[in-house]
Amino acid sequence: MITGKSIELEKAKTDFEKLIKENSLNKNFGKFKEVNNETNDFLGIAKLEAYE
């Protein structure tokens, strides 16, 4: 998490479990790691979510 300060391990674990739960609700939505398919270079992280 890029906030300029570190977080406690337990908070990181809680946030990660929440992310996993949210990603399991629908395979088309959630947080994704973006990589270049040709070079496997990391490009960034994206989030896709639906609003009402």
Per-residue model confidence as pLDDT tens digits over 1-52: 566 788 899 998 998 999 899 889 888 899 899 999 999 999 999 999 888 7
Question: What pLDDT sits at residue 1?
Answer: 52
- Structure tokens that stand for 28 in this block: 């088309």
Question: What pLDDT sits at residue 43?
Answer: 96
Cα–Cα distances (Å) from 31 to 6, 20, 44, in that order, read 21, 9, 11
Question: What pLDDT sits at residue 34?
Answer: 95
Question: What pLDDT sits at residue 4?
Answer: 75
